[in-house]
Amino acid sequence: MAVDSVLAAAVDVAREAAVEAAGDAAAVGEHLSANDEGDKLVTHLFGCTLPGYRGWVWSVTLSRTPRLKTPNICEANLVPADDALLAPTWIPWADRVQPGDLEPSMVLPRVDNDGRLMPGYEATGDEDADALAIWELGLGRERVLAPRGRDEAAERWYRGSHGPTAASAIASTAACSTCAFFIPLTGSMRTEFGACSNEWSPSDGSVVSVDHGCGAHSQTDVERPGSQWPANDPVYIDESSDPFDLAPEPEPEPEPVPEALTEAGADDVVDEPVADAVVEAVADEAVAPDSETAVEAEAEAAEPATAEVAEAAEPATEDVVATAEIDAAEPAIVEVGAAEPTTDEVADDEAADEAPADEAPAEQDKPAE
């Protein structure tokens, strides 16, 4: 059915009605659409700019009488659109409390027509019949659990955290029905459920199914692994005692000085001038080779006297050699002084000693002439 053209064109009239309903022209947004509601009946929708009303629109309904061109305002109000922000559905206070919400200070109202319950046994006045029904059969209550309530409880327990689908039941190696801590329930629930009495179990004090399980089963065991610490060396304990000397150790005695070194040191003191003369002679031979040649010539001329001097000085030479070896073992600095006799002076002294020996035979031969 086509929209009435007169009412569809009356956008300004509908806006005025929306502004009047909002009380503020800024709260009314742009024109959204014109919807046909029936014969000579059209609804105009305007956007809402009020904060907190996302998706809401201003709705203004117009109508007119037949053969009249004047629109009439039927109603103007704020309505939610399809994507409007709405409050949650109202829930009665009695239905808002869910299982698990009850706290120690809360009390639930009585539900008279609870389908989970049914009337219990009423006393008849007969003591024997009442005692049998109340004390032995447990019917001495105004209301007892109905079959519906019993079935709902069994289904809830079986699919809960204490049923066969729990993680602990899947991982366990034995069911609760074979555990010594399992206490079966009485009545029709005996074949399906019982109570756990093991304090080490996570289900302690809870109703569990017969095919539930956990790691605290009374009949299961595990292989005890060995220690991960390295094995210690064996310790041997005997009753024998070993004496220990706690006295401090004596200090080591100084090593004795060899007698050869002591005698050599004494010879150094006695023959020190002779040794110095030999060392200086060697040094002069390395510096002046010409003087060595002169000494040899003079020594050849006075060979007999030199032999006698050599024989006389032979013991002293041995001492000099021993002294030289000791000096080589103990480094020392030899100072060549100007006051010590040089090689030339030693040669002159030897020539002077040889001269009287050469002239003695000549003087003995004179009287014979």
pLDDT digits (tens, 9 = 90+) for 304-351: 444 444 444 444 444 444 444 444 444 444 344 344 454 455 455 555
Class of residue 318 by CB neighbours under 10 A (exposed 0-12, middle 13-18, buried 19+): exposed
Q: Calculate the alpha carbon distances from 142 to 112, 114, 133, 192, 194 in Å.
A: 12, 13, 13, 27, 26
Digit-coded pLDDT (tens) for 81-130: 988 888 888 888 777 888 888 888 888 878 888 888 887 776 677 777 77
pLDDT for res 367: 45
φ/ψ of 292, rounded to 5, equals: -65, -40
Q: What one-character-per-residue DSSP string does 18-55 give?
A: HHHHHS-GGGEEEEEEEEEEETTEEEEEEEE--TT-TT
What is the pLDDT at residue 286? 47
The angle, 0 to 180 degrees and rounded to 10, between the axes of the packed helices 303-329 and 272-287 is 100
Question: Is the per-residue pLDDT at 293 higher than 70?
Answer: no
Task: Give CA–CA dist 222/216, Å, rounded.
Answer: 11
- Element of type H or E holding 207: strand 207-209
Supply the pLDDT for residue 179: 95
Residue with tokens 């509908």: 14
Give the separation between CA 286 and CA 336, rounded to whole angstroms: 14
Question: pLDDT (tens digit, 9 = 90+) per residue, 9-20?
Answer: 999 999 999 999
Angle at 366 between CA 363 and CA 369, to 5 degrees: 165
Measure the CA–CA gap between 160 and 208, rounded to whole angstroms. 9
pTM of the predicted protein model: 0.40
Structure tokens at 250: 């004596």
Contact status, residue 220 vs residue 174, Cβ threshold 8 Å: yes
The per-residue pLDDT for range 234-243, each reduced to its tens digit, is 666 667 777 7
- What does the pLDDT read at residue 12? 92
- 338: alpha, beta or left, given left = phi > 0 and alpha = psi -120 to 50? alpha
Widest CA span of the chain, in angstroms?
210
pLDDT recorded at residue 276:
55
d(CA 355, CA 346): 15
Q: Is the pLDDT of residue 25 over 70?
A: yes
Helices 289-301 and 343-365: crossing angle in degrees, nearest 10, is: 20
138-161 pLDDT, tens digit per residue, is 666 778 889 999 999 999 999 999
- Domain ranges, ordered by start, for the chain: 5-80, 149-209, 260-365
